[in-house]
Amino acid sequence: MLMLGGDDLTEAVLSRAILTSTGFRRSKLAGAKLDEAELSFTRFEDADLSGADLSKAVGWRANFTRTHLDHANFSGADLSRAILVEAKIAGADFRKAEVNRGDFSRADLSGADFSKAEAARAVFTEATLSGARFTYAALARADLKKLDLAGVDLTGAYLFLAQLDGADLSRASGLKQDQLSLACGTSETKLPAGMVQPDSWPCRPESD
C-alpha cells in the first residue's frame, strides 16, 4: 500500500499502474495519466485530478470525496460503487463508463457526459446536473429525486424504476412518454409540456 498524500504528481504518467488501496489524499494530480490503472479502494479525497486521464481505469469503491475532477476523462472506466460525494466534476467524460451504485451526492456534474454509461442505482442526491448528457445511459433505479434537470439530455436513457419523486423534468430534453412509464415519479414530479403522469405512478415500494 502506497501513501502519497499531499504529493505533487502533476501530469504524472501512471498508465496501467497497480495502485489498489493507495492513498492520494490532497495530492496534486492535475493532468495525470491514469488510463487503464487499477484504482480499486484507492483514496483521492480532496485531491486535484482536474483534466486527468482515467479512461478504462478500474476503481471499484474508490473514494473521490471533494476531489477536483473537472474535465477528467473517465470514458470506459469501471467505477462501480465509487464515492464521488461533493466532487467537482464539471465537464467530465463518463461515456460508456460503469458507475453502478456510485454516489454522486452533492457533486457538481455540470456539463458532464454520461452517454451510454451504466449508472444503475447511482445516487445523485442534491447533485448539480445542468447541461449533463445521459443519452442512451442506463439509469435503472438511479436516485434522481428532487433534482432540477433543466438542460439535461435524457435522449434514449433507460429509466426503469429510476426515482423521480419531486424532480423537475420540465426543461429536460429528449424525454419521451414511454421512458416516463418505466420510471417512478409522483404528483410532485414536474413533467415537460405535453407529457402526462403515467398510471403506474407512484410505484409500489420495492424490496432491495
Which of 74, 140, 154, 156 has its CA nearest to residue 107? 74
> Are residues 38 and 74 both part of a single domain?
yes
Look at residue 11 and tell me if it is in a domain: yes
> According to the model, what pLDDT value does residue 138 have?
98
Look at residue 129 and tell me if it is in a domain: no
DSSP 152: -
> Are residues 83 and 7 both part of a single domain?
yes
- In tens, the pLDDT along 41-53 reads 999 999 999 999 9
Residue 95 CA: distances (Å) to CA of 28, 62, 72, 135, 140: 25, 18, 12, 9, 17
For the segment 177-192, the average pLDDT, to the nearest whole number, is 95
> According to the model, what pLDDT value does residue 83 have?
98
For the segment 115-128, the average pLDDT, to the nearest whole number, is 98
Q: Confirm if 75 and 96 have CB atoms less than 8 A apart.
A: yes
Look at residue 128 and tell me if it is in a domain: no
CATH number of residue 110's parent domain: 2.160.20.80
> Are residues 14 and 99 both part of a single domain?
yes
DSSP 159: -
Residue 181 has phi, psi (to 5 degrees) of -65, -25
> According to the model, what pLDDT value does residue 204 have?
80
HEC string of 68-96 equals ECCCCECCCCECCCCECCCCECCCCECCC
Is residue 146's pLDDT more than 80? yes
Instruction: State the pTM of this model.
Output: 0.94
> According to the model, what pLDDT value does residue 1 have?
55
Query: What's the chain's average pLDDT?
Result: 95
% of the chain beyond a pLDDT of 90? 92
> According to the model, what pLDDT value does residue 7 have?
75
For the segment 63-89, the average pLDDT, to the nearest whole number, is 98
Look at residue 126 and tell me if it is in a domain: no
> Are residues 81 and 183 both part of a single domain?
no
Is residue 174's pLDDT more than 90? yes
> Are residues 159 and 202 both part of a single domain?
yes
For the segment 103-107, the average pLDDT, to the nearest whole number, is 98
> Are residues 1 and 101 both part of a single domain?
yes
Is residue 31's pLDDT more than 80? yes
Look at residue 51 and tell me if it is in a domain: yes
> Are residues 6 and 67 both part of a single domain?
yes
CA atoms within 13 Å, Cβ hemisphere of 147: 31
> Are residues 116 and 144 both part of a single domain?
no
> Are residues 102 and 173 both part of a single domain?
no
Look at residue 133 and tell me if it is in a domain: no
Cis preceding linkage at 192, omega within 30: no
> According to the model, what pLDDT value does residue 4 have?
65
> According to the model, what pLDDT value does residue 205 have?
75
Look at residue 125 and tell me if it is in a domain: no
> Are residues 144 and 112 both part of a single domain?
no
> Are residues 85 and 171 both part of a single domain?
no
Q: Which of the two residues, 102 and 202, has the higher pLDDT score?
A: 102
- Give the Cα-Cα-Cα angle 78, 164, 106 (nearest 5 degrees): 55
- Number of folded domains that form the chain: 2
Range of the domain at 49: 1-120
